[in-house]
Amino acid sequence: MSHLKLSYKTKASDNALEAFNATSSIFSQLARFDAAYKILLEKEIFILVSFLVIVTDKKIAFMMLFFQLIQR
C-alpha cells in the first residue's frame, strides 16, 4: 500500500513538474513574441516617420507619429 502511495505522489509531482515546464515554456515564447513585436513596431514607426518626414513637413510627421502612438 505504501508503495502505491509513493508511486502516486511521484506521478503527481511528475505531472506538476511537467505542467510547470509547459507553463514556463509558454511564458518564454510569449516573452520572445512580445520582444519581436516591439522590434517590429519600432521599425514600423521608424519607417512611417521617415516616409512622412520625406514627403511632408516635419511638424505634420511628428503629429502623425503622436497619433499613431496614441492609437496603440
Find out whether 45 and 68 touch, Cβ atoms under 8 Å: yes
- Note the pTM of the prediction, 2 decimals: 0.37
- The domain segmentation of the chain, as residue ranges, is 2-71
The CA distance from 13 to 9, in Å, is: 6
pLDDT, residue 12, reads: 62
CA–CA distance, 12 with 5 (Å, rounded to integer): 10
Give the C-alpha separation, 65 to 46, whole Å.
9
- Grid cell at residue 28: 518564454
pLDDT tens digits, one per residue of 14-33: 666 676 767 777 777 777 77
